[in-house]
């Protein structure tokens, strides 16, 4: 269970880096994401999930 909490903490650190370092760039990127269709966002989400599962499988 400690590993799960450590992984969640690492996700929060990584997710917080870009808005902390470059808030204007993060805002521009977010505005571009808002222009994507639902299908495109789902595709990127699916790719992220599959990549994450693949990395988990590879490293465990």
Kindly state the average pLDDT of the residues 13-28.
Answer: 96
27 band by pLDDT with thresholds 50, 70 and 90: very high
- Containing 35, the helix (H) or strand (E) segment is none
60 band by pLDDT with thresholds 50, 70 and 90: confident
Distance between CA atoms of residues 53 and 39, nearest Å: 21
2 band by pLDDT with thresholds 50, 70 and 90: confident
- Indicate the Cα dihedral angle 11, 16, 17, 22, nearest 10°: 150
Distance between CA atoms of residues 13 and 18, nearest Å: 10
CB atoms within 10 A of CB 44: 12
């Amino acid at each position: 269970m400690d590993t799960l909490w450590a992984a969640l903490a690492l996700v929060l650190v990584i997710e917080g880096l870009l808005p902390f370092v470059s808030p204007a760039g993060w805002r521009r990127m977010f505005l571009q994401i808002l222009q994507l269709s639902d299908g495109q966002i789902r595709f990127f989400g699916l790719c992220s999930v599959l990549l994450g599962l693949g990395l988990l499988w590879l490293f465990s």
